[in-house]
Amino acid sequence: MAQRANAVVDWDAIDTVLVDMDGTLLDLAFDNFFWRELVPRRYAERNGMSVQAAEQTLAPRFAAKVGTLDWYCLDHWTRDLGMDLKALKREYREHIRFLPGAQVFLAAVRARGKSVSIVTNAHRDTFAVKAEHTGLDKLVDSVVCSHDFAAPKESAAFWVALERHAPFDGARTLLIEDSLAVLVAARAHGVRHTIAIRRPDSREPPRAIADFVGVDGVFELV
């Protein structure tokens, strides 16, 4: 049975807060719209095919990269699809928005004197577009993109590299994240405090979370 987050977050026992970006601070609705709807539509237009045919063409190419760094790499997909994806993200940047309570949460945690860092699989170019639109980079102490270490957050290599880059005490570190695979990797590395986001996309209902403390959003942790 999932525990209530406010029953287990002992802020006095935490020095470092690592927080995911997409699906934790920012609404995953944008990314789901971008990759599931917009990219297939634009790909279809560029290649003179129906949207359905584009979806059938792209699905196996996307599936083959799930869990790898290429899955999150804007450079890879720009080359693979022949589309300027950074420009496309910027064109639709008005769809990028915070999840409920994200800004309040970040301010409250920093007010407690905790170190707050974004750890994201997003490509640096993707982060740049989102930071320009939201000012998210100004609300945290630092930002780490998995591309900096050439390893996705789902891998043990990422956590080894992160600790070398910015040493932290796993016993006094909290990770808040919507990806269960990332939470598993962090826990295996020794991150003691982990919380899963049940509702990363505001358009979808909450997910069932069995193996981690779960909250609908970070607003529950303020």
Query: Which tokens hold the place of 201?
Result: 């996309």
**pTM attached to this predicted model:** 0.93
**CA neighbor of 201 nearest in space, from 3, 43, 27:** 27
Classify 177 as helix, strand or coil.
strand
Q: What is the longest distance spanned by two Cα atoms in the chain?
A: 59
Which residue has 């994201």 as its token pair?
120
Helix (H, G, I), strand (E, B) or coil at 143: strand
Provide the β-strand partners of residue 118: 19, 143
Instruction: Per residue of the chain (222 residues), give pLDDT as tens.
Output: 344 445 558 899 999 999 999 999 999 999 999 999 999 999 999 999 999 999 999 999 999 999 899 999 999 999 999 999 999 999 999 999 999 999 999 999 999 999 999 999 999 999 999 999 999 999 999 999 999 999 999 999 999 999 999 999 999 999 999 999 999 999 999 999 999 999 999 999 999 999 999 999 999 998
